[in-house]
Amino acid sequence: MMYTGIPTVLANDTSGRISQLLAQADPLVVSDVQAAMALTQEAMRLAADGGHERAYGQALCLYGATLFFQSRYDDARAAYTEARTVSRALADAGIESRAVNGLGIIARALGDYAATMEAFMTSAQLARAHGDQLGELRALSNMALLHNQLGDHGAALSMQREVMAGALAAGQRVLESSAGVNAVAALHALGDHAAALALADERLEVTAQLGLQEHQVLLRMYRARSLLGLAQPDAALRETEGLLDWALGQGNANNITLLLLTVGRAHAALGAHREARESLERALDLSRESSLRPREVEALQALSELAAAQGEHAQAYTHLLAYHTLETQLRTETVEHKVKVMSVQQQLEHLQREAVLTRARAEELEARVAERTLDLQRVNTELSVLTHSLEAQVEERTRALKDSQVKLLAMEKLASLGRLTAGLAHEINTPLASVMGIMEHARTLAEEYRESIGHGGVTDDDHREIANELLGDLQQAGQGAARIGEFIRNMRGHTRNVASGAVRIDLPPLISDTLAMLVYQAREMNVALNFTPAQEGCAVNGEPGRFTQVLTNLVLNGMHAASGLPGAQVTVDVACTQKGVVLSVQDNGCGIADDVLPNIFDPLFTTREVGQGTGLGLSIVHDIITGHFSGEIDVITEVGVGTTMRVTLPGA
């Protein structure tokens, strides 16, 4: 059913029937979604046939919620988008706030946290402008859930308590109860199990009075996990009785996995290893099937601890390695999500402040113009025509000024956001890809090690060799992670072209370490990496991380240029000359065309396909060489033969 402009005349009895249907459907969305959908569809039909636009928009929002709870995200997004179209035609900020809030919930479910934060903040602003306290509290509660998901549990708890207080004052007991459940979850995530247990007991009494069965089950589930955290496994097991059957009936994979993990950990604490393993392995399988990676991490950790307790050290090591790999990946992704969310949040807050200031200035200007007009009219009525002309000019210039300010501000924000996002993506993805390649090699070694256990032909020396390779991989992965951290610390200094923390750098060992991080990518691209350390010591003054950044970008560009060609190779050379230290990175790739060469150091210039390059690599390299190291870079290229990037730096 699509919105095409519904007539506004509606019989009173039909209006009452629609309101009754929506009131019946709202509390059923989370407990009986099929019944809620049937009621909502009937309300939509009556509103469309009878011409009640506002009721149709409200029904669309509720319909979107029923689709979301069935994981039909595309259909839910279409419903909320149509509701937003209706709300704008009606200039109804209340309906628009609820529709935008729904779009934010979908974005959060799909992992687009930047879009999620933007939607929830916009929803809260619309609700506030409409005087819709309930809508504002809903948006605040959803923002708290996002903070909890990103690990900001303290902020999530504070916001949920604010929602609880506001909902209670407004008489919205269902929203108050929902915020209470989320507050218990935040306390548990903070590790304050005693406080979580106390709040869960308090909220259980409220949910029992309200008859909210799902909230009662969720509270009991978090109560069981808190009891487990307080080293009371017997009590935790008793608390979970009957909950798993209910969760299985609801089909919520997250709740089922949480209960299986709780039961498994409780059995493990009680020494019931067989029952513990069964529950934990079920939790691991379900978390993987449902892409619940935080639950997968918890299951892997619990299985590793259980295997270690039973003396199954190989199995414990396998689970522990998988746990650390996935946990590191999730932590990295969470940091990236936080950066994006903080950027969106800051941009929206700044826009809101600017909007308030612009409105205040406009109101002040209008007041002054009106006052001056009255003064002029009182002084001389003959000047009224001139006064009207001046007012029109002032209004026109004010509008032009506002338009210019808005356009300039938007252009600057987009440019800053584009540079930050593109730079972060380019410079973090490079070492991160190396780390992931190294971890994949480590996983292969671990599998070989596991398969070799018990083989008569495998000696202790073989085990030591595999262990040494694993240690080498982990060391290289740690270096890659350290490089990501160092890059982030250097971002502010780089953007201001300020050299700080300079030390004497012995280049040959640093070059060897950097190339070692790129070996795996070179193998995947079938490119040979060549480097023969200089006989004499070659050293420069500067920050090692920035030199590594330069070398990595130049080598990767060479690898991309040579990849796919027979005998593809990249050769790195460093030598001390009278002019200084000369670093050369040579490839036997396709070379650079004459019409492309003048632009290669321009920001955002790239010859690769969309999505395969940001166009920032050589621009950053040029800035670091000329700014931080006070050096220069030359390009020697021939089409069909290859390219040499020659960097000359002052010697130490």
**Among 98-112, 222-236, 310-324, 455-469, which range has the highest average pLDDT?**
222-236
Q: What share of the chain is helix, strand, coil (3-state, %, to 5)?
A: 75, 5, 20
Rounded to a whole number of angstroms, the distance between the first and last alpha carbons of the chain is 73
Lowest mean pLDDT among 114-118, 187-191, 380-384, 547-551: 380-384
> Number of helices (H) and strands (E), helices first, in the chain?
23, 7
- Please give the helix or strand (H or E) that residue 587 lies within, else none: strand 580-587
Tokens 């309300």 belong to residue: 43
Using only C-alpha atoms, the chain has a radius of gyration, in whole angstroms, of 32
Residue 392: its pLDDT value, please? 77
- Structure token digits, residue 493: 């200094």
User: pLDDT confidence of 353, banded at 50, 70, 90?
Assistant: low
Burial 421-431 (b: 16+ CB within 10 A, else e): eebbebbbebb
User: pLDDT confidence of 200, banded at 50, 70, 90?
Assistant: very high
Q: Which letter does DSSP use for residue 651 in this model?
A: B
Q: What is the dihedral of CA 539, 541, 547, 550, to 10 degrees?
A: -100
Residues facing residue 504 across a β-bridge: 541
202-225 pLDDT, tens digit per residue, is: 999 988 888 888 888 889 999 999
How far is C-alpha 443 from the geometric centre of its chain's CA atoms? 26
Lowest mean pLDDT among 286-300, 400-414, 603-617: 400-414
What is the Cα–Cα distance from 597 to 639, expressed in whole angstroms?
11
- Cα separation values, 531 from 89, 414, 628, Å: 67, 42, 25
State yes or no: pLDDT of 408 exceeds 50. no
What is the Cα–Cα distance from 315 to 72, expressed in whole angstroms?
39
Residue 456 vs residue 474, higher pLDDT: 474
* Sign of the CA dihedral with 488 first, then 489, 491, and 494 last: negative
Residues facing residue 482 across a β-bridge: none
Residue 424 vs residue 503, higher pLDDT: 503
Q: What angle do CA 310, 312, 318 make, to 5 degrees?
A: 130
- Please give the helix or strand (H or E) that residue 156 lies within, else none: helix 153-169
Residue 371 — left, alpha, or beta (φ > 0 → left; ψ -120 to 50 → alpha)? alpha
> Are 83 and 120 spatial neighbours (Cβ–Cβ below 8 Å)?
no
Three-state DSSP class for residue 632: strand
Residues contacting residue 276 through CB under 8 Å, at least 6 positions apart: 264, 265, 266, 267, 268, 306
Q: Which amino acid is at 204?
A: L
User: pLDDT confidence of 183, banded at 50, 70, 90?
Assistant: very high
User: pLDDT confidence of 625, banded at 50, 70, 90?
Assistant: very high
pTM of the complete model: 0.46
What is the Cα–Cα distance from 319 to 313, expressed in whole angstroms?
10
Lowest mean pLDDT among 45-59, 324-338, 518-532: 324-338
State yes or no: pLDDT of 2 exceeds 80. no
Residue 415: its pLDDT value, please? 39
Burial 239-262 (b: 16+ CB within 10 A, else e): bbeebbebbeeeebbebbbbbbbb
Averaged pLDDT for residues 86-112: 86
Tokens 């504070």 belong to residue: 158
- Structure token digits, residue 507: 């280049």
Three-state DSSP class for residue 541: strand
State yes or no: pLDDT of 21 exceeds 80. yes
Pairing of strands 569-577, 528-531: parallel
